[in-house]
Chain A
Amino acid sequence: MGERYFQHTFENGLTLLAEKMPAMQSAAMSLLVPAGSCTDPVDRTGSSTVISDLILRGAGDRDSHALTDYLDSLGLQRASSVGVHHTRLGCAALAENVMTGLATYADIVQRPQMPQSGFDAARDLALQALAGLDDDPRQKLLVKLREWHFPSPFGRNSMGTKEDLEKLTLDLCRADFGHRFHAGGAILAVAGNVDFNALREQTQAHFGAWKSGVGDELRIMPPPGMYHHEPQQSEQTHIGIAYPSITEDHPDYYVVRLAVEVLSGGMSGRLFTEVREKRALCYSVWAGYSSLKTQGSIMGYAGTSNDRAQATLDCLVGELHRLSDGITIEELTRAKTGLKAATIMQGESTSARAGAIAHDYFIRGRIRTLDEIKNAVDSVSLEQVNAYLASHRPGPFTMVIVGPKELRLPE
């Protein structure tokens, strides 16, 4: 690797990644701990979400107030979330403040205080967020689509179920934390104005004693079915559709990404053009590539008035099928330009880059340089894309509808 990208795996299994961006004043950090929703025990869904809140309520010798006040005093702009594979903790600020904050993040993932009052509040908030899903039909659709499309436990709602959350206790969370928060498979990615040697030394000092560990084997179960209607008294019907694709480390990955770009890249994308611009069936319509480590998928969405929902679905599915007839050279050229420009512009944001290199490493075991991505996009030919599309017709479809009425998948 050149002098822009750095990678080092410590003895305990933690991998440190860095991208040096000397023109920046800031740095951003993304810490992925292999405690995502797919690792929640079968009868404790939502526990990662509760734990991800709980560990921020005091760590090391700082209680909840002191910890938050300290991170605020460094000006760290923070975010934490639970994804399928990881619990993610991230922050961005002036580079030296991010470096200073590392020691505290080490406390958070190794020595959280996890007080009872904090657990009670964290679980309560998780239950409230879950209840709020019913008031947000669009969000509910996306959650349900993942549940019905991906095998369990990958399709789970990271918010968990009411039943499981109500059974959760502090002791269970503590045990779970002890079992799942370890350095094995964890990724710490930093992008910005940082010196890698100093970063490596600090990481060794603060995370070097983090215990190692391996994830449990997951029990994979097929999703509940291919079609689901969630009755909801809403103004619009929300339509979600998904079908399997290749994983991100597959040699045809860029072929698929470019095809999806043709479908739903800019406003000249086929879905926007056909469903919205020509037929005015909806305001929001899109499709995207969505990846788990072990399964790629194409997912599509449209939200539309209840009486036009069937027409919208028919049009959406029609466009997915029409891809098999191939794309034009003009469409491919636009898709390539768009993807390359987005890649280069990502280099302007330390947060975007920290997230991207962490994701790359998780999927591919290495960082892709921006040049590598550009070259890979350039090397895809029209013949390649069209041959792929002709031999990989979309389907089988999973379809989820949130709205008052059922819809039929067109023939």
Chain B
Amino acid sequence: MPLKFHHQTLSNGLDIVAEINPDAHSFAAGLFVKTGSRDEESSINGVSHFLEHMMFKGSDRYTWEDVNRIFDEIGARYNAFTSQEMTAYYANVLPEFTEKAVEHLAHLLRPAIRQSDFDTEKKVILEEIAMYLDDPGHRLYEKLMELHFGNHPLSQSVLGPAESIRNLKRDQMAGYFNSHYGPGNMVLSVTGNMDFNEVVKLAERYMGLWPKVQAARDQPLPLYKPQEQDLVDAKLNRCYTMGMTPGPSAQDERRFAARVLADVIGDSDGSRFYWALVDNAIAEDADFGFYPHDGCGSFYFALTTDPKRTKQAMKIALDELQRIRRDLNNDEVDRAKNKIASGIVLQGEVPLGRMRSIGSQWIYNKEYRSLEQDMETLLAVTPKSLQQLMDDFSFDPMTIVSLGPG
């Protein structure tokens, strides 16, 4: 299964990255835009995500009904997502619908943002915010990001506060669109079964006239400080606790080691946290993970416990983070690497997964990494590199937030 990489930049500056898999049954295309909640003025926090919804409300040529209908006519698996750092729109189709998929994605990203659609969709966004208020894990995560990043823009919520959504004006959104959505700040990522030259021609035809934008992203230095906060919600049954501490960024070579370390400490099975917390049922869930961001990064832990066991679980988790610095062993590193290697193989077989991975990678680093490169880098991670990583990032300072019945 030889996967082949191609890259081309159109005259308007639009990057196209492609990984061709002649054995794939499908073609996947995604437009990744380097904008998210961290790029918003706080007064319009939530605009990136709301705008993502508005893309599906039609262009000058199409109504919202047309947008959905056309995607369904070609049997596409399509959707979009917004994070703190990027917004992406994608479609996965059978190869015979390659042109239609590229053309339609292009229409999607030239939205009309009609006032009536804007007013209607605002209600849907407010429902989405309400839905997440019923999810304690999400509430906790938002609070954690807010505290941990303080004045850094990564502290802003993706959905935004309901108040900011209610106050948002159509023209503010249109202004945000004009300054962030264009070549120079986005990439077209395509994977699967395709003729690359044909895809370039299609991109030229449907996206070749998009004006370039200059959207600079603020990269202030986050000011971390140790802090703890307990939130009480009497109607909850369980206690949810998260901690966050600095880690390598998405540009940092140490991110590969960080991923292995995260699995050694907190994979759902067979990890340090599993044996110390879940195997004995002190916690129902205990994860440790790694979020590489643009310009900075975080390690985090998340525990779900009976409220009576929260303190005990927290102490064990924090002790484990110290203990591993003293007694990390080769076998556990190898096992974590083997699990990640399987993930790399499995992801390589599905174009949709690769398209997302390649598009995100380009947004962060303007870099393509083949599966072979990922595998080589992974195999080169050693216990020594993890040790070095833990010397560089000592899990301190840590922001800890809990949410429970009190």
Contacts and interface: CB of A to CB of B under 8 A. Distances in A.
B218 interface: no
Counting chain B CB atoms within 10 Å of each CB, the highest count among A93, A120, A333 belongs to A93
B135 interface: yes
B123 interface: yes
Interface string B271-286: 0001100111100100
Given A121-B279, A132-B238, A135-B236, A268 B345 contact: no
Nearest to B404: A135
A282 B131 CA distance: 9
B64 A277 contact: yes
B69 interface: yes
Contacts of A93: 342, 345-346
B350 interface: yes
B134 A334 contact: no
A10 interface: no
B339 interface: yes
Contacts of B128: 283
A136 B135 contact: yes
Nearest to B26: A345
B274 to A, nearest CB: 8
Contacts of B270: 68-69, 71-72
A55 to B, nearest CB: 14
A125 B281 contact: yes
B109 to A, nearest CB: 16
B345 A128 contact: no
A113 interface: no
A308 B316 CA distance: 45
Contacts of B126: 305
A76 B342 CA distance: 7
Interface in B65-106: 65, 67-69, 71-78, 92-94
Contact of B278 (A125, A138, A234, A282): A125
How would you classify the secondary structure of chain B's contact residues: helix, strand, loop or mixed? helix
Interface string B13-26: 00000000001111
Counting chain A CB atoms within 10 Å of each CB, the highest count among B76, B235, B237, B331 belongs to B237
B349 A341 contact: no
B334 interface: yes
A137 B335 contact: no
B73 A68 contact: no
Contacts of B223: none
B334 A73 contact: yes
Contacts of A116: none
Interface in B108-146: 120-128, 130-131, 133-136
B72 A334 contact: yes
Contact of B72 (A73, A265, A345, A348): A265
A272 B68 contact: yes
B281 A128 contact: yes
B131 A134 contact: no
Nearest to B274: A68
B72 A280 contact: no
Interface stretch (A21-29, A292-300, A378-386): A21-29
B157 interface: no
Given A26-B346, A73-B335, A268 B237 contact: no
A330 B176 CA distance: 37
A121 B75 contact: no
B269 interface: yes
A47 interface: no
B343 interface: yes
Given A341-B26, A341-B74, 19 more contacts: A57-B279, A72-B336, A72-B338, A73-B334, A117-B280, A124-B281, A135-B236, A136-B134, A268-B68, A268-B69, A268-B72, A272-B68, A276-B124, A281-B123, A334-B69, A340-B75, A341-B94, A348-B25, A351-B346
Interface of B: 1, 23-26, 56, 64-65, 67-69, 71-78, 92-94, 120-128, 130-131, 133-136, 235-238, 269-270, 274-275, 278-281, 284, 304-306, 331, 334-336, 338-339, 341-343, 345-346, 348-351
Closest 4 CB pairs of A and B: A341-B75, A75-B338, A124-B281, A266-B72
